[in-house]
A and B are shown apart, each in its own frame.
Chain A
Amino acid sequence: MVKHTDDVGAKMGMWLFLFTEMLFFGGMFLLYAVYRAHYSADFSGASSELNRVIGTFNTVILITSSFTAALSLSEIKKGALRSASVSLGITALLGIIFLIIKYTEWSAKIGHGIYPGSAYFNDLAHGKVLFFSLYFVMTGIHALHVLIGIVVFMVILFMVHSGTVRGNNFIKLENAALYWHFVDIAWIYLFPLLYLLR
């Protein structure tokens, strides 16, 4: 096999993959739109039960992590492996903090008996049931994406150390950063729809 790497091709593949991600989330946004139109009063009632402060804090964390991801890319292009690694590490760390906060938020809700299937949950108004189900499913699937991103960044950190990803071969890092920006943007939509819109 003639070894050849086609960076443009690899990036194109990533973009195509992100299209599919967009449509994947799109299905949930569609449900959100329809049910919000059906049950607008319930939706605003339920949404006010979410903690805006925590939500905002998490948004800031995720945006910062997108910044550090972009930073590590520009550093590696300069050949500054050390500072690129630091930025990568910070990105992964911010991702982990995001998940921890998400976890506490979920457990608070579950502690109050708000989760699909609970007796309390099933007695809620229909619109609220749907809102909270959407909340759990959308943030859950998003969190799964964050988790995958963290693992990817860890692997790439390792690759930087072993020299596979370096100043003249950074497509893997670039693609990981692209993916991470997508995860970020998905949150940028989730946050106002779930927390802010009343």
Chain B
Amino acid sequence: MGTDFHTNTEGRKGISSWIFSTDHKRIGLLYLYSILGFFLTGVVIGLLMRLELIAPGKTIVSARTYDSLFTLHGIIMIFFFIIPGVPASLGNFLLPLQIGARDVAFPRINLLSWWLYMIAGITAISTIFLPGGPPDTGWTFYPPYSIRTPTNVSVAAFAAFIIGFSSILTGLNFITTIHRLRAPGMTWMRMPLFTWTLYSTAWVQILATPVIAITLLLLILERAFGTGFFDPSKGGDPLMFEHLFWIYSHPAVYVMILPAMGIISEIVPTFSRKTVFGYRAIVFSGLTIATLGYVVWGHHMFTSGMSDVSNMVFSFITFAVAVPSGIKVFNWIATMYKGSVEVKPPMLYAFAFIFLFSIGGLTGLINSAVATNIHIHGTFFIVAHFHYTMFGGAGFAFFAGLHYWFPKMTGRMYNFRASTVACITLFIGFNVLYFPMFLLGWQGMPRRYYDYPPEFHWNNLISTLGSWILAAGLLIMFTNLARALFKGEKAGNNPWDGTTLEWQTTSPPPHENFAEIPVVTQGPYSRKREGQETGDR
């Protein structure tokens, strides 16, 4: 067996052994570090916003700066953290391992996608320093304001355009990899669930991203030449922008949440010492979510002036998405039922995910009913809802996956005590930060304002305190992982007694993953292994 991929530099030296490597594991880690870098940038901006909102009136920034802050925060968190987050980092690292392949189908395209990601990131950040300043439209770039504002909307939109390419290339690569490179015996119904969700996600990436690409391009042309497509003064219709924007951006939330659900579907059976309950139901609910996800975009536009019929149809289908999501939660709980559940750190993060995501999902139903939506549209209720789904859901699942596969990626183990403390702190901080926002929104506090009337003071104060607790949790978590990276104990190849293929190779895996390509003879979570009859329970 070859040397592990950290030592094997494929004949390159220093940094170029990373930024020019076509090894999916190195690219996965490159993505991981870059994505975490953007995440922390976004967090700092978030904390600044919370600080501004600690008391009524101006606290630290002007109204204009606040506009730029929430726009940058949104753009960074959406396009540079949570959309690429799981697939590009953990997915890249694990997909070939989970299906018993040596790499992805197109390793060089894989590297190209990381380069595009970085170019896009630098382009987006550069708006801060360009004359005109960062965009102030919110991450949604709605016209007509986005046509008129003198800020660098075009540059930021172009950055999002480039990262779209990166996302498409990843999707295309993953689909081809899964179709072409599965190990002998790995039938579709023997694929690990994380791989399955990456597959559904990849289709969404491919079929939805081009729509935002053309939309943003049209916006740029609109600003540069005055084409009039979205400009009412020239006969265009801003509503068309909203449609096109959400035709992508709603499916994009499934790019965020599906792989997150995949992570949980790996962790729960491993730490329940049981095969997963309802494998097929989980697979098909994932595919259903991906499909239904295409036809619900209108729920972002209930107050924008669509017809009543459209409103009702979009509302109804949105409710329908809750069914497959509910099936998944049910399956996870059923997997734990009568299992011997071990609450190690990954499982703890998975619990946090299930709890927070359930709140996010259930409040989503409140949003998707047209009548209540009109009351809470554009308020802090929405801000609370999407942080619960994207951060409490996808974000926490990302942390769970990070803790689950950390020993595989690095060969080392972190301190359990510290990560438990971190998880609990994060959980408390999260709820203190975001729960008051539901109340604020319900009382009518609009989003995207740097100021508010005094009656909203208490909840805002509590929320800001929560942001500090959350920040402390992040600090503990990342310090613990960073420490483990250098000083952690050797983890062994299969510390959690996992059953999927990535646990059958060494940690960290060798350059081409497996000394010999494994032959698969049973389902991914079966606990019956050669010479050992442990049964399913």
Residues of A within 8 A of B (CB): 1-2, 6, 8-9, 12-13, 16-17, 19-28, 30-31, 34-35, 38-39, 115-117, 122, 125-127, 129-130, 133-134, 136-137, 141
Once the chains bind, are B237 and A16 in contact (CB under 8 Å)? no
Asked if A20 meets B206 with Cβ closer than 8 Å, knowing A1-B512, A130-B234, the reply is: yes
Is B142 interfacial (CB 8 A cutoff)? no
Residue of B nearest to A8 (CB): B180
Once the chains bind, are A23 and B211 in contact (CB under 8 Å)? yes
Interface string of B197-228 (1 = CB under 8 A from A): 00000000011111101110110010001111
Inter-chain contacts of A20 with B (CB < 8 A):
168, 172, 206-207, 209-210
| Candidates A12, A13, A137; contact of B227 at CB < 8 Å | A137
Extra contacts besides A16-B176, A126-B234, A129-B228 (20): CB < 8 Å: A9-B105, A9-B179, A16-B171, A20-B210, A22-B210, A23-B208, A24-B213, A28-B214, A28-B218, A31-B229, A35-B236, A38-B237, A116-B228, A122-B234, A125-B235, A126-B235, A127-B235, A129-B234, A130-B228, A130-B236
Chain A nearest Cβ from B177, distance in angstroms: 8
Once the chains bind, are B234 and A17 in contact (CB under 8 Å)? no
Once the chains bind, are A133 and B228 in contact (CB under 8 Å)? yes
- Rounded to whole angstroms, the CA-CA distance of A24 and B217 in the bound complex is 10
Is B240 interfacial (CB 8 A cutoff)? yes
Can you list 9 A-B contacts (CB < 8 A)? Answer: A13-B106, A16-B175, A20-B172, A38-B237, A116-B226, A129-B235, A130-B234, A130-B236, A137-B218
Once the chains bind, are A34 and B240 in contact (CB under 8 Å)? yes
Once the chains bind, are A13 and B226 in contact (CB under 8 Å)? no
- Rounded to whole angstroms, the CA-CA distance of A133 and B171 in the bound complex is 32
Is B465 interfacial (CB 8 A cutoff)? no
Once the chains bind, are B512 and A24 in contact (CB under 8 Å)? no
Inter-chain contacts of A1 with B (CB < 8 A):
10, 103, 512
Once the chains bind, are B206 and A19 in contact (CB under 8 Å)? yes
Inter-chain contacts of B103 with A (CB < 8 A):
1
Once the chains bind, are B175 and A27 in contact (CB under 8 Å)? no
Interface centre among B211, B229, B235 (most CB of A within 10 A): B235
Asked if A31 meets B240 with Cβ closer than 8 Å, knowing A20-B210, A117-B225, the reply is: yes
- Rounded to whole angstroms, the CA-CA distance of A137 and B217 in the bound complex is 10
- Rounded to whole angstroms, the CA-CA distance of A143 and B214 in the bound complex is 15
Inter-chain contacts of A39 with B (CB < 8 A):
235
Once the chains bind, are B176 and A9 in contact (CB under 8 Å)? yes
Chain B nearest Cβ from A8, distance in angstroms: 7
Inter-chain contacts of A21 with B (CB < 8 A):
210
Chain B nearest Cβ from A87, distance in angstroms: 28
Is B36 interfacial (CB 8 A cutoff)? no
Inter-chain contacts of B176 with A (CB < 8 A):
9, 12-13, 16
Once the chains bind, are A34 and B237 in contact (CB under 8 Å)? yes
Main secondary structure of the interface of B (DSSP, over half): helix
Is B102 interfacial (CB 8 A cutoff)? yes
Is B244 interfacial (CB 8 A cutoff)? yes
The 4 A-B residue pairs with the shortest CB-CB distance, nearest first, are A126-B235, A27-B214, A133-B227, A24-B210
| Candidates A23, A134, A136; contact of B210 at CB < 8 Å | A23
Asked if A27 meets B234 with Cβ closer than 8 Å, knowing A9-B105, A17-B172, the reply is: no
Is B459 interfacial (CB 8 A cutoff)? no
| Candidates A6, A27, A35; contact of B105 at CB < 8 Å | A6
Residue of A nearest to B173 (CB): A13
- Rounded to whole angstroms, the CA-CA distance of A31 and B235 in the bound complex is 12
Once the chains bind, are A133 and B209 in contact (CB under 8 Å)? no
Inter-chain contacts of B102 with A (CB < 8 A):
2
Inter-chain contacts of B237 with A (CB < 8 A):
34-35, 38
- Rounded to whole angstroms, the CA-CA distance of A13 and B180 in the bound complex is 11
Inter-chain contacts of B213 with A (CB < 8 A):
24
Inter-chain contacts of A129 with B (CB < 8 A):
228, 234-235
- Rounded to whole angstroms, the CA-CA distance of A24 and B211 in the bound complex is 6
Interface string of B355-382 (1 = CB under 8 A from A): 0000000000000000000000000000
| Candidates B173, B218, B226, B244; contact of A122 at CB < 8 Å | B226
Once the chains bind, are B211 and A27 in contact (CB under 8 Å)? yes
Asked if A27 meets B106 with Cβ closer than 8 Å, knowing A20-B168, A129-B234, the reply is: no
Inter-chain contacts of B208 with A (CB < 8 A):
23
Inter-chain contacts of A26 with B (CB < 8 A):
210-211, 214
- Rounded to whole angstroms, the CA-CA distance of A157 and B428 in the bound complex is 63
Inter-chain contacts of B215 with A (CB < 8 A):
27
Inter-chain contacts of A22 with B (CB < 8 A):
210
- Rounded to whole angstroms, the CA-CA distance of A55 and B214 in the bound complex is 24
Once the chains bind, are A6 and B207 in contact (CB under 8 Å)? no
Chain B nearest Cβ from A126, distance in angstroms: 3
Residue of B nearest to A136 (CB): B227
Interface centre among A13, A26, A130 (most CB of B within 10 A): A13
| Candidates A6, A13, A25, A126; contact of B172 at CB < 8 Å | A13
Once the chains bind, are B214 and A24 in contact (CB under 8 Å)? yes
- Rounded to whole angstroms, the CA-CA distance of A117 and B180 in the bound complex is 50
Inter-chain contacts of A9 with B (CB < 8 A):
105-106, 176, 179-181
Inter-chain contacts of A24 with B (CB < 8 A):
210-211, 213-214
Inter-chain contacts of A115 with B (CB < 8 A):
225
Once the chains bind, are A23 and B221 in contact (CB under 8 Å)? no
- Rounded to whole angstroms, the CA-CA distance of A116 and B147 in the bound complex is 15
- Rounded to whole angstroms, the CA-CA distance of A133 and B228 in the bound complex is 7
Interface centre among A20, A30, A39, A126 (most CB of B within 10 A): A20
Once the chains bind, are B211 and A133 in contact (CB under 8 Å)? no
Once the chains bind, are B173 and A27 in contact (CB under 8 Å)? no
Inter-chain contacts of A137 with B (CB < 8 A):
218, 221, 227
Chain B nearest Cβ from A59, distance in angstroms: 23
Inter-chain contacts of A125 with B (CB < 8 A):
235
Inter-chain contacts of B168 with A (CB < 8 A):
17, 20
Residue of B nearest to A4 (CB): B102
Residue of B nearest to A22 (CB): B210
| Candidates A31, A117, A126; contact of B226 at CB < 8 Å | A117
Residue of B nearest to A140 (CB): B221
Chain A nearest Cβ from B9, distance in angstroms: 13
